A and B are shown apart, each in its own frame.
Chain A
């Protein structure tokens, strides 16, 4: 049983053709399921909870990073999720811009996503959290005054305006030390600056950032500083493609 969660931006006419292609392909592959349109419902969490209780096996976010973030948040904040955790699979059908999460899963086009759903290649990865919001790929900010505390043991001060990335699952080949980011290790990787010898690389599961500004999660959700960033206990089972960015 599949539940497809359509983000509300897909109501725009320019996405109609892409959705039609997806729906036809899913029908051809025998992967039809229930369609839940976020524009028509008020509470994503309630909708996802109801589907989990009904015994849904696959939850597929149709949209972009923000859609994926909303759906995973709804899944893992669900009391029923822990019980069914081993069974429920998550995946993405990317439509529109800002789809780095899907890209890191090895899913680049909507029709390719349907084939990947059929292949059911499953990986279980960590989920990051910043404040009360989860993220799959990364949390990032650019700051010249942020103070970053690691494991309550030591703190880092930026000496000039620099990009700070806290990565769970790397989505870009241009990130320095990106090949060392491991989405299975219960840790996050803090990468500051992107060129040696200025680049900093630290592995931690507890990072506190203070200062002014905001952190952007998965290029889609903004949260204000200060923020505490870590890994949550729950993991998520995802359906991925061969061309994913991790092992």
Chain B
């Protein structure tokens, strides 16, 4: 989903886009890509990818397949595959992911666990043929 220069590809195709002028409160569960440019409080969970914009403020635990974070997050982050943390990101919480890249200037207050097990598990799931009923 993310190119090398941390630009969000297919930005306009995200299933859900929360704009900069919006405050969201509650449990946000999705199947598709989610873009947050505004304020979110509660929880954020998707089977797909999450993009947190530079001016976004997220007060929630975040779970996704891949993520690109450029804004502020207070909460734990659990990413199955690749997590990209941009230079403007400010994270207060523990981070767990399969792969990670952190740009110079990013701030993280919490533990970081990068485990290839996460990645293998998600890849195995993807490659495994569906069980017959």
Interface residues of A (CB under 8 A from B): 153-160, 162, 177, 180, 192-193, 196-203
Are A202's CB and B16's CB within 8 A?
A: yes
Chain B interface: which size bin?
20 to 34
Given contacts A154-B42, A203-B16, whether A197 and B24 have CB atoms under 8 Å apart is no
Complex Cα distance, B29 from A156, in Å, reads 14
- Pick the residue among B21, B26, B29 that contacts A159 (CB under 8 A): B21
Are B19's CB and A159's CB within 8 A?
A: no
With an 8 A cutoff between CB atoms, is B7 at the interface?
A: no
Complex Cα distance, B13 from A192, in Å, reads 16
Are B25's CB and A153's CB within 8 A?
A: no
- Write the chain A residue with the least CB distance to B23: A157
Name the A residues within 8 Å of B18 (CB-CB).
156, 200, 202
Instruction: Please name 30 pairs of A and B residues whose Cβ atoms are closer than 8 Å in the assembled complex, sorted by A.
Output: A154-B26, A154-B28, A154-B42, A155-B24, A155-B26, A156-B22, A158-B22, A159-B22, A159-B23, A162-B21, A180-B13, A193-B19, A196-B19, A197-B19, A197-B20, A197-B55, A198-B19, A198-B20, A198-B21, A199-B17, A199-B19, A200-B17, A200-B18, A200-B19, A200-B21, A200-B22, A201-B16, A202-B17, A202-B18, A203-B16
Are B25's CB and A154's CB within 8 A?
A: yes
Are B25's CB and A155's CB within 8 A?
A: yes
- Pick the residue among B17, B24, B38, B55 that contacts A201 (CB under 8 A): B17
Are B27's CB and A192's CB within 8 A?
A: no
Name the A residues within 8 Å of B27 (CB-CB).
153-154
Name the B residues within 8 Å of A202 (CB-CB).
16-18
- Pick the residue among A153, A160, A203 that contacts B21 (CB under 8 A): A160
Query: Which 8 pairs, one residue from A and one from B, show the smallest C-beta to C-beta distance?
Result: A154-B26, A200-B19, A201-B17, A157-B23, A197-B37, A198-B19, A198-B21, A197-B20
Are B53's CB and A197's CB within 8 A?
A: yes
Query: How many Å from the CB of B106 to the closest CB on chain A?
Result: 20
Query: How many Å from the CB of B29 to the closest CB on chain A?
Result: 7
Complex Cα distance, B15 from A199, in Å, reads 13
Complex Cα distance, B27 from A154, in Å, reads 6
Query: How many Å from the CB of B114 to the closest CB on chain A?
Result: 30
Name the B residues within 8 Å of A156 (CB-CB).
18, 22-24
Complex Cα distance, B99 from A46, in Å, reads 65
Complex Cα distance, B19 from A160, in Å, reads 12
Given contacts A158-B22, A159-B22, A159-B23, whether A153 and B17 have CB atoms under 8 Å apart is no
With an 8 A cutoff between CB atoms, is B126 at the interface?
A: no
- Write the chain A residue with the least CB distance to B54: A197
- Given A156-B18, A180-B13, A192-B22, 13 extra CB contacts under 8 A: A153-B29, A156-B22, A159-B23, A192-B19, A193-B21, A198-B19, A198-B20, A200-B19, A200-B21, A200-B22, A201-B14, A202-B16, A203-B16
With an 8 A cutoff between CB atoms, is B12 at the interface?
A: yes
Name the B residues within 8 Å of A199 (CB-CB).
17, 19
Name the A residues within 8 Å of B42 (CB-CB).
154
Query: How many Å from the CB of A145 to the closest CB on chain B?
Result: 12
- 8 Å CB contacts to A: which residues of B21-45? 21-29, 37-38, 42
